[in-house]
Amino acid sequence: MGKAKKTRKVSVAKKMMNPNDTRLVKKTVGMEKQAKLRDNKNKVKEIPKISSAMFFQANNNLKPPYQVLVDTNFFNFSIQNKLDPMQALMDCLLAKAVPCVTDCVIAEMEKLGHRYRLALRLAKDPRFTRLTCDHSGTYADDCLIPGVPIVRVQRGKYAVERMPESISAVPLNKSIISSKKKKKSKK
């Protein structure tokens, strides 16, 4: 049997840094600045007041004439369902509606190219109010305002989302109401 090789363990001396070392000083200065920034972020300077009309995260304080912010998908689905946006909005909201198009929506349609040329032509119609955006980029969802109901295309007509009372369920003809009452009375 051979002799096992023994490796000598060299005692490792722990090296200590000089407290005045520049590497150590820079880190502590940086940490102090970061701690001050964290403290400033955590301090609440003023809490924004929220309107009482925003009780269930839906704004009930909206009155006609409605200003409707329109995006790329809204134009696309309106064209697919052969809906005139002006007339269909008035039928849905039962009041005058002013559709508004932002610059980022038009830029988004221009980027999408040839397939969205009809939607782009519809967006540039003078009946639509043109709004400028204050955010960077051309992402249209950044323009949405929280708490405002969203109008979407549903079953060949416009419907309003996020409303406590569904506006899309309001019948336009009195004959529809009377026929529903007759059906209930027969049961």
64: DSSP letter: S
| pLDDT at residue 171 tops 90 | no
Q: What is the pLDDT of residue 9?
A: 59
Q: How confident is the model at residue 63 (pLDDT cuts 50, 70, 90)?
A: confident
Distance CA 33, CA 42 (A): 14
Structure tokens at 6: 């023994």
Lowest mean pLDDT of 27-31, 55-59, 146-150, name the range: 55-59
In the chain the beta strands, taken as DSSP E runs, fall at 66-70, 97-102, 129-131, 150-154, 157-161
* CB environment 72-97: b (16+ within 10 A), e (fewer): bebbbebeeeebebeebbbebbeeeb
Nearest to 71 by CA among 113, 112, 94, 99: 99
Mean pLDDT for the stretch of residues 26-37: 71
pLDDT at 160 over 60: yes
Judge whether residue 62 has pLDDT over 60.
yes
In eight-state DSSP terms, residue 113 is: G
* Pairing, β 129-131 against β 97-102: parallel
- What's the chain's average pLDDT? 77
Kindly list the distances between the CA atom of residue 167 and the CA atoms of 56, 89, 160, in Å, as whole numbers in the listed order: 17, 11, 6
Lowest-pLDDT choice from 19-23, 69-73, 76-80, 99-103: 19-23
Per-residue pLDDT tens digits for 88-146 = 999 988 899 999 999 999 999 999 999 999 999 999 999 999 999 888 877 888 887 77
Q: Where are the beta strands (DSSP E) in 26-96?
A: 66-70
Domains and CATH numbers, the chain: 63-134 (3.40.50.1010)
181 pLDDT more than 70:
no
